[in-house]
Amino acid sequence: MTTTVSAETLAILKTIATSTLTTLLFKRGFRNVFIQGARPLKTGQRLAGPAFTLRYIPAREDLDGIDAFLDPRHPQRVAVEEIPPGAVLVMDCRGDVSVASAGSILATRMQVRGVAGIVTDGGLRDASGIAKLEIPAWCSGPSAPTNLIRHHALDINAPIGCGDVPVYPGDIMVGDDDGVVCIPAHLAEEIARDAVPMERYEDFVLEQVRGGASIIGLYPLTKPENRALFEAWLASTPSHVEQA
């Protein structure tokens, strides 16, 4: 059963660091949630949206010639035209960065359609052009060759593995400068709920450490005097969620 995640939850998650999210998921027993190899084409962008998946298998010469794109049912093209606004195209390229999984024309089309972002464990071509777009993209690196050389696009919106992480359609993808984390959809609301106070605490800790404080008894918070300082800080300092 698909879990619908509210716009309010997505807005909160978009402000939360992937480091915070991976820690909260680890507390719940999830160790493999960070997409390995996927890095942002442009720093400073944030992402939060449900996964819409595309799976590539290895190409075969009789099926993946240059004329394959003449077929209007080609799964890559279909995925670009059918992904819902606000969703994230997540591509399983088996970690192969030797060819592209998409390029700037497809990225532009998805931006126009209101797609939230692109995540792939493979390459992206025309990477500098994609980096100039508003749609954020994470990949394992720029790669000029067409996907047909190594990839056969197959399944649309089915469970995939991206960067060695299982991604199910509707899972919530959250990205920042560190990379992308996959949150099981049914956990998104409670992760967002717990993430805000956790980040508030870490902001306080960082401020204290910059001022010369020791992390002992502060991180984690075990000393009563530090708890009193934190409570006073909370009362006087607005959160980044409130400021957004």
Known binding-site residues for substrate equal 103-106, 125
The binding site comprises 103-106, 125-126
Helix (H) or strand (E) holding 119, with range, is strand 117-120
**SS percent in the chain: helix, strand, coil, step 5:** 35, 20, 40
Q: Are 190 and 28 in contact (CB under 8 A)?
A: no
Tokens representing residue 163 in the block:
């960067």
Please count the other Cβ atoms lying within 10 Å of the Cβ belonging to residue 243.
7
DSSP line for 58-110 = E--TTT-SGGGGGSTT-HHHHHHHHSPTT-EEEEE-TT--SSBS--HHHHHHH
The binding site for Mg(2+) comprises 126
